Structure 1
Amino acid sequence: MITISNLKKHFGETIACDIPAFTINDGDILGLVGNNGAGKTTLFRMILDLLKPDEGIVDINGINPSQSEEWKQQVSAFIDEGFLIDYLTPEEYFSFLGKVCGMPQQVMDERLKRFEHFAGGEVFGQKKLIRNLSAGNKQKVGIISALIRETPIVILDEPFNFLDPTSQNILKRTLKEYASETHATILISSHNLQHTIEISTRIALLEKGIIINDLSNNNSEAQQELENYFKDAE
């Protein structure tokens, strides 16, 4: 469970985050949606202790990330390619992650098999450094790196960016299967409203750093309300 209390962040006169209280429950597939500047990435970065809030607290299963490193055993994330070590090949990078996490190479190799379809024959066995991969394939490496540890919480910022339509559809199936098999809590932000609606069980609508609506979405029931919001916002 992730609990947010009185979380605030300003950049000059701009309010990037102002969330009095918000709880993300175990097993939620939470989609964050909002226009540019709504505060989605800022919120993720504060949850991951990559950005210090001006006020407030994030609590991850009883741990304040700003005060302890123990939360890192429970959370995996991919925000952007800055998370990658681009002078390694994908295989070297995954092996490095396995060593850092104490995962035997045999276990890593077995888990990687589930992502072969998503990788599409363009990530594994190519003998390319990550820096020389296309933007879409770098994105795949980052997403796989977040899922491979099978942590209770996974955070993905704009995971559908740079992916072709086939890969986007495979990713949606992969995330649904991953959630079903691991019962993980998954947080996703995306500009693609339809993808978010299709995979999320719950959707938080952000506007200027504020969560203005918290919608249940078990049967895509949030679709009409979200479509109306973005239509009116044009």
Structure 2
Amino acid sequence: MIEIKNLKKVYNGVTVVNVPSFEIKRGESIGLIGNNGAGKTTLFRMILDLIRPDEGEVLSKGQVVAGGEEWKNYTASYLDEGFLIDYLTPEEYLYFIGGLHGQKKAQVDEYLLTLTEFFNGEIIRKGKYIRDLSKGNQCKVGVGACLLQKPDLLMLDEPFANIDPSTQFRLKNILKQQNKQNGVTTIVSSHDLNHVTDVCERILLMEKGRIIKDIATSSSTLAELEEYFGVGQTVSNTTFEFDREENH
């Protein structure tokens, strides 16, 4: 579904993303992990055509993303509160997003009922603008808007960071359901190793802009990642290692 070819991004002489190639197949659940500055968000933004690569390209369903339009019809993403319209109420924003995808108000209301537990009585009909919500509740609105679109590809950057434990649990169940029952391709970036290994069947480990490990999630993956980050391994600026570990 997603194919990357010779992708590179450089800022002020520093290469922040350097990915010769990788592919995400339709229906896969992908976890993207790495320390701050590893290049995760930059990679996300290039996949979403929010920034342009200096070299290479991203393809979605075989079509080049940069300058394209078709991929937007089946892709939903939430990276941060900048994706929201903060002077609207959550209801206004969700009706707006639904309208963009041909949904009437009644259809949006019907779908939002399925998110009642996830919203936990904190989002709808509270008389607040999005800008007045906590970061955690803003994240709920953003994720809800993504789900409303019924995408083929769902991309979330650090969705567990600002939400409470109960909502984290509910979000994990939602992501599993979207992937397993609805066949949605999910890409989740997170610093929380527990969450990402629980939700994702494949883990991409980034370091200094490179994907250095591509791991099929198994019972030993969490311990392997904890050991990696605990030891603090680094990657040479001149060496690229792409290690696909198939663990079953």
Is the structural similarity TM-score above 0.5?
Answer: yes
TM-score, reference length from structure 2: 0.91
Partner of residue 225, structure 2: 226
Q: CA deviation at 1:146?
A: 1.2
Per-residue CA deviation, residues 165-210 of structure 1 (Å, 9 max, x unaligned), is 1111111111111222210000000011111011001000000000
**Aligned partners of 1:198 and 1:220 also within 8 Å:** no
**Which structure would you say has the larger RCO, counting Cα contacts within 8 Å and 6 or more residues apart?**
1
- Supply the AA of the counterpart residue of 2:200: S
Partner of residue 167, structure 1: 167
Larger deviation: 118-127 or 101-110?
101-110
Measure, in 1, the Cα distance between the counterparts of 2:178 and 2:22: 24
Q: Give the secondary-structure state (helix, strand or coil) at the position aligned to 1:16.
A: strand
Identity across matched positions, percent: 46
**Aligned partners of 2:49 and 2:67 also within 8 Å:** no
Q: Which runs of 5+ in 1 are unaligned?
A: none
Measure, in 2, the Cα distance between the counterparts of 1:191 and 1:141: 21
Partner of residue 49, structure 2: 49
Q: CA deviation at 1:33?
A: 0.4
Q: Which runs of 5+ in 2 are unaligned?
A: 234-248
Larger deviation: 105-114 or 122-131?
105-114
CA RMSD of superposed structures (Å)? 1.1
Partner of residue 125, structure 2: 125
Measure, in 2, the Cα distance between the counterparts of 1:178 and 1:76: 12
Q: Give the secondary-structure state (helix, strand or coil) at the position aligned to 1:123.
A: coil
- Supply the AA of the counterpart residue of 1:73: N
Measure, in 1, the Cα distance between the counterparts of 2:122 and 2:149: 21
Q: Give the secondary-structure state (helix, strand or coil) at the position aligned to 1:182.
A: coil
Q: Give the secondary-structure state (helix, strand or coil) at the position aligned to 1:150.
A: coil
Aligned length: 233
Q: CA deviation at 1:30?
A: 0.2
Measure, in 2, the Cα distance between the counterparts of 1:63 and 1:147: 23
Measure, in 2, the Cα distance between the counterparts of 1:42 and 1:33: 13
- Supply the AA of the counterpart residue of 2:156: L
Partner of residue 99, structure 1: 99
- Residues 187-198 of structure 1 mapped to structure 2, 5 A cutoff: 187-198=187-198
- Supply the AA of the counterpart residue of 2:74: Q
Partner of residue 207, structure 2: 207
